[in-house]
Amino acid sequence: MVEQNLLLLLVLTPFVSAALAATLPVGSRNAETWLAGLTMAVVLGVLAVLYPAVDEGGTITSKLEWASSVGLDLSFRMDGFSWLFMVLVAGIGMLVLVYARYYMAADDPVPRLYSCLLAFAGAMSGLLLSGNIIMLVVFWELTSIVSFLLIGYWYHRQDARDGARMALIVTATGGLCLMVAMILIGQIVGSYQLEDVLAAGPQITGHRLYPVVLILFLLGAFTKSAQFPFHFWLPNAMAAPTPVSSYLHSATMVKAGVFLLLRFQPALGGTDAWFQIVTGAGMITMLLGAFVALFKHDLKGLLAYSTISHLGLITALAGIGTPLAIIAAVFHIVNHAVFKASLFMAAGIIDHETGTRDMRRLSGLAHAMPVTATLAIIASAAMAGVPLLNGFLSKEMFFEATYVWNNGSPLDNWAPYIAVLAASFSAAYSLRFIVTVFFGPKATDLPHEPHEPPALMRLPVFVLVAACLAVGIAPQATLGNWLTSAGMAILGPDLPHFSLKLWHGVNPALIMSLIATGLGVIIYLLPRRWIDRGEEGLRITRALEFARFFETGLQFATVTLPRRMLRRISATGLQGQLRVMVLMGMAAAYFALGPLDWNITLPEISSRELVFALLWLIGGACALAAAWQAKYHRFAALILTGGVGLVTCTTFVWLSAPDLAVTQLLVEIATTALLLLGLRWLPKRDEEIAGDNNFTSRFRRFRDLMIAVTCGLGMTAIALAILLTRPGSSVGDWFLRHSYVEGGGTNVVNVILVDFRAFDTFGEIAVLAIVGLTVYALLRRFRPALESVERPRPQVEAEEQALEAYLFIPAVLMQWLFAPIIALAAYLFFRGHDLPGGGFAAGVTFALGLLLQYVASNVRWVEARLTILPVRWMATGLIVAASVGLGSWIFGAPFLTTHYQYLELPWIGKVPASTAMLFDVGVFSLVVGAIVLMLIAIAHQSLRVAPRSRPTESEEQS
């Protein structure tokens, strides 16, 4: 059990530390380093404790139930392979974090860097330890996102932004492909658990969807591990700070792809397609990367292409897939991580101390920084594959794998030659790195005078180089056991014997190695002057600039194509769009209802309905007149709309909907007040609109009129058809039966709103809150129309008269009315559960009471006497409503379950007491806040001083 929990700890600790690191102050490089370093130390400690459990092919699994019904559980799993990878992540992570302390400048925002690096460590741990393949993809994408953030760390730089975007698009798209592949695998196997998938190899490879799965899976792995033709993002990711390049883009994250290839080799590998694609891509990448690296003048560019090449080597080994090739791949993952991380750090030191990474300018640094030079030379010798260093051993194993294995295909026959050629280029660029940077005449025109860095900045490089030497000299003693358990984790217990030794005698691999090294020296030394000074690469590699293709494609897909499509299919203005929407609605209604038969007999209008008919005669006339007048006579249109609202309200009363009538009436008042306040800022419409009466305008109006008439007739027909059909059984019956028994209220509408469907109401008040805040935010930077800036005539006249005379009697009346209105609000609120009313109606009433005060007196008078903080009302409302909902969790009931009972109060009698009423308090408070916020935000605009009349500062002073 302890082990299971430790496994969770491995994933969670870095994330917790990342959150902590993000909160530290900007200048705290030391505190950040301690925090991050300790985190990594904890992870390493846990790994040390867990090693016995994963030794000799053991695994640890831990599982948290999550969404088991869809096959999703938080399950973690660690075996020898992921353990070894975790050691790399935590170990190199720790060294990089120490190194970053000295690499970053004091004014860099380090909390962001450390936080992201720690989050990356967490995401990577999650990726390595996921026992569920969907979760694995989630962590996979998480590493892409963190990588994006880290590449774009210096986001003021164009190249950093571009590189970050490119990396994210390539790797995240690959991740999506991977997700589809994983879902398909899960469907084929019938389980998303890694264990089951790994055990179901034949089932997957024999399935008819295997080619699709394989391609999608490899897209994911190749994009992450920068394999041809997706390699181009990695060099562009070098815009990141060097610690990031060293950690993510050489040692760990880019290895996630090959990790996945090796991990799933038992499940997906072993087929001819696997071999051809994976080995082929790996070989091409290896050769191409090594070739391009030779010509790079930028230190980090050279190392980036070298990383691509080495990743290609590991991919090729995964493709070959024999047990020894797998062991060699794991071995090379470790070796490459160690020497490349140290080389990146050395490059960072050189950049840091000299101010440039350009190899055409750097020269003779061995004099100025002898220790760093020695370390870097040893590390690049490991990269070149020189004996006594770790790179030599895994390269030997690679040669052996390409040479020994034989399936007779052309690729297999060519593999040894490609391997030797790539290795010779590798030797050549390593040699070039050593010779140009550290030897030769001392450079004179460097931005800084070069000198040794602080000892602690060198320490991580030293540790890694020491590891290179230790593994290179005594491989069995240092890595033997770990490699055995990693190999067992991938291949199962019957691992063939392999020996990690420096000297195997004279065998083909050694001869290949000697040829490669010798050839490498010749390749570099012969055309040396041309390589060192010339252009970066040959014409053909420059022409095949994949990053440029990518940018062009991206530009086309995200800018050119959408614009072209927009021009082609978009309507020109809002009117056209709305017209299309209306027409589509009509078409939908036509196709849905067209097949139905019309067998409705139209009823006679009886004399008892005369009043109702008269009512709607007025209502209809108001609506038509509002439509007629809205263009030039806005005030009239507004009043007429209000008339329609009142008729609607009366209809609700007539047709047994008292709650609706109350609400409609109150909202009508609020809407009218709001629109009146808004009209103040809408200058009078000039009656002359150019071209308003020409033929096209008339035609447009006529066409819209036809559409509107059709809409109206259609709605009449539909409504009539429904009203004259006998109703089936309604859900409403259920609510009527259960409202009192289960909700404890007799007003069914209110019980539905605050009890049965309280979650909908919760959403609705949230919408209201959002709208309130949006209105407020929009009005904060409000610039009124120039014509309406002047104060309106009544206000100006009122100032000329005595202030008290302005609306004196109405003002007194409205002040007296304040208390009764508040009482009315309370009344509406408390009776809501049993009789028409409720939190919403009470809230609007309360808000209107406040608004009346604003109307009666001026804003300053009110605010001197009454402090309203609408935003707090809204916040209180939301919190109350939400906590009532959450409260039911305490009793083990779902969100917003209510409880009610009737309380016997002295003097008053039986009173309903329900948690739904508390919820209603939340609704009330929020409605008050939102409406007051909107109305007051608009009303407050009258306080603004017209810009032209505002006295300037100089005038005030004089």
Partner 1 sequence: MEMILALAIGVLTGSGVWLLMRPRSFQVIIGLCLLAYGVNLFIFSMGRLYVGAAPIMPKGGFVDPAAYADPLPQALVLTAIVISFATTALFLVVMIASRGTTGTDHVDGKEREQ
- Closer of 573 and 595 to partner 1 (Cβ): 573
- Closer of 497 and 783 to partner 1 (Cβ): 783
- Closer of 538 and 771 to partner 1 (Cβ): 771
- Closer of 371 and 786 to partner 1 (Cβ): 786
Give which of 144, 321, 322 is closest to 220, Cα–Cα: 144
CB 175 within 8 A of CB 140: yes
Q: How near is the Cβ of 572 to partner 1 at its closest, in Å? A: 8
- Closer of 704 and 863 to partner 1 (Cβ): 704
* Distance (Å, whole) CA 582 – CA 372: 73
CB 268 within 8 A of CB 328: no
DSSP state of 757: T
Q: How near is the Cβ of 722 to partner 1 at its closest, in Å? A: 6
* Distance (Å, whole) CA 226 – CA 238: 13
Tokens for 230, please give them: 């997706």
CB 169 within 8 A of CB 547: no
Q: How near is the Cβ of 705 to partner 1 at its closest, in Å? A: 6
CB 290 within 8 A of CB 422: yes
Residues in CB range of 608: below 8 A, 6 or more apart: none
CB 746 within 8 A of CB 900: no
Q: How near is the Cβ of 175 to partner 1 at its closest, in Å? A: 38
Tokens for 87, please give them: 């050691």
Q: How near is the Cβ of 600 to partner 1 at its closest, in Å? A: 10
- Closer of 27 and 784 to partner 1 (Cβ): 784
Tokens for 251, please give them: 């040692």
Q: Is the peptide bond before 211 cis (omega within 30 degrees of 0)?
A: no
Give me the long-range contacts of 67-71 (CB less than 8 A, separation at least 24). 71/134, 71/186, 71/191, 71/192
- Closer of 470 and 646 to partner 1 (Cβ): 646
Strand ranges for 570-672 from DSSP E: none
- Closer of 205 and 747 to partner 1 (Cβ): 747
- Closer of 19 and 705 to partner 1 (Cβ): 705
- Closer of 412 and 704 to partner 1 (Cβ): 704
CA distances from 156 to 80, 152, 153, 260, 760 (A): 42, 9, 9, 34, 45
Q: How near is the Cβ of 870 to partner 1 at its closest, in Å? A: 13
* Distance (Å, whole) CA 332 – CA 673: 75
- Closer of 120 and 776 to partner 1 (Cβ): 776
Q: Phi and psi for 34 in degrees, rounded to 5?
A: -60, -50
* Distance (Å, whole) CA 313 – CA 304: 14
- Closer of 313 and 666 to partner 1 (Cβ): 666
DSSP 165-217: HHHHHHHHHHHHHHHHHHHHHHHHHT--BHHHHHHTHHHHHTSTTHHHHHHHH
- Closer of 559 and 713 to partner 1 (Cβ): 713
- Closer of 558 and 575 to partner 1 (Cβ): 575
Amino acid, single-letter form, for residue 458: R
Q: How near is the Cβ of 760 to partner 1 at its closest, in Å? A: 7
Question: What are residue 64's DSSP bridge partners?
Answer: 74
Half-sphere exposure of 877 (CA within 13 A, CB side): 30
Residues in CB range of 557: below 8 A, 6 or more apart: none
Tokens for 151, please give them: 């590449």
Amino acid, single-letter form, for residue 507: N
* Distance (Å, whole) CA 88 – CA 374: 24
Torsion of CA 682, 685, 689, 695, to 10 degrees: 100
Q: How near is the Cβ of 929 to partner 1 at its closest, in Å? A: 13
Q: Phi and psi for 77 in degrees, rounded to 5?
A: -150, 135
Q: How near is the Cβ of 627 to partner 1 at its closest, in Å? A: 4
Q: How near is the Cβ of 821 to partner 1 at its closest, in Å? A: 19
Angle at 85 between CA 82 and CA 86, to 5 degrees: 85
- Closer of 162 and 834 to partner 1 (Cβ): 834
* Distance (Å, whole) CA 395 – CA 313: 9
Residue 77 three-state SS: strand
Q: How near is the Cβ of 906 to partner 1 at its closest, in Å? A: 20
- Closer of 79 and 668 to partner 1 (Cβ): 668
Give which of 130, 1, 128, 139 is closest to 74, Cα–Cα: 130
Q: How near is the Cβ of 745 to partner 1 at its closest, in Å? A: 9
